[in-house]
Amino acid sequence: MFLPALWYSWCYMKNNFTVLDLLDLDLKDHNSLNLKCLAGRKGLNRIITDPEINRPGLTLSGFFEEFAYHRIQLFGRGEMAYLNMLEENGIMGAVTKTFSYQLSCCVFSHSGNPSKQILEIAEKSGCSILQTDLTSAEFSIRLMRALSDIFAPRKTIHGTLVEVFGIGVLLTGGSGVGKSETALELIERGHRLIADDTVVLRSVNGNFLMGSGTTEMLGHHMEIRGLGILNISHLFGVGSIRDNKQIQLLIELETWDSEAVYDRIGTGDAYKEMLDVKIPLIKMPVKAGRNIPILIEVAAMNERLKKLGYYSAQEFDNNVLKWLESKNARNLYSNNSDIF
């Protein structure tokens, strides 16, 4: 489950993700962080610059070497018990020094309630104190999942993103080549639109690409020359759209060139790197008489077969080789049959 595309785009354009933004994240069900602010509201505008989390146990004991103060500080039951012990013994020097750093914010899990003295130190330093009822482990998983999406490398490209038989297909090509018209026919055939004209790409953990529209409000509209702007969800229903999708196939539409050499067998897989992620690439020539939507459907189904380990072109190549070998063997047997 990924954050809504509107949040991705807004945080990207804003380019500054603050503690207040963290509190305002509209995450549902098993993604919800269940955060509320206990103190230090002056620090809600502090910028979160690191998607990782720090457990400040060593810091509270007075060890400040390699203190990752720029990360979100997570206080679990162990840190809470240690804070209580320090306060009971009047040893608050390390705690005060910890809050003297420009901490982004502190989160207390397990509905932990820091003491009045801790809250006063936080208020004085301008550091926000947040609380969640989640366990430390569960909160860490949810927070890192959310932050990894927000801080993921991203870029905006010109293209159309559709889901065809469960495969995220990114259509690119020159202006007027027919990307939107092709996507419109695919939608009419029961497939789904993610974004048209402008697609926001983000690399998730450097392993795969997610694509979405610039905003949820504008992402599911299409511009068709001669018709104008179309609202796809109103025309075809909410089942014809989705907010984001992993990009698994890139199809470059280009005007047919009679002098160009196009792949006719498909044994050599082509890829294109986008945000350091390799995406399977198909260059598809467009000309009168070619039903591009059907070809894209076949390409998507073929890509699904490849993910299951079945390669049609390689199987054909192997069958041809076996046939040639068997034919050579028969010829060799026929030519030498007189010796038996």
Which residues are catalytic, by number? 158, 179, 197, 264
Helix, strand, or coil (residue 213): coil
Residue 204 bridge partners (DSSP) = 208
| AA identity, residue 303 | E
Residue 249 bridge partners (DSSP) = 169
Residue 190 vs residues 183, 232, 239, 254, 299: alpha-carbon distances, Å: 11, 12, 9, 25, 16
Q: Shortest CA distance to 184 belongs to which of 223, 237, 226, 157? A: 223
Burial class (CB in 10 A: 0-12, 13-18, 19+), 132: buried
Six token digits for residue 316 = 């054909």
Q: Shortest CA distance to 109 belongs to which of 56, 60, 65? A: 56
Cα–chain-centroid distance for residue 40? 32
Q: Shortest CA distance to 1 belongs to which of 245, 188, 338? A: 245
For the residues of 21-42, what is the DSSP string, one character each? HHHH----GGG---EEEEE-GG
DSSP structure class, residue 244: E
Q: CA–CA separation, 6 vs 288, rounded Å?
A: 38
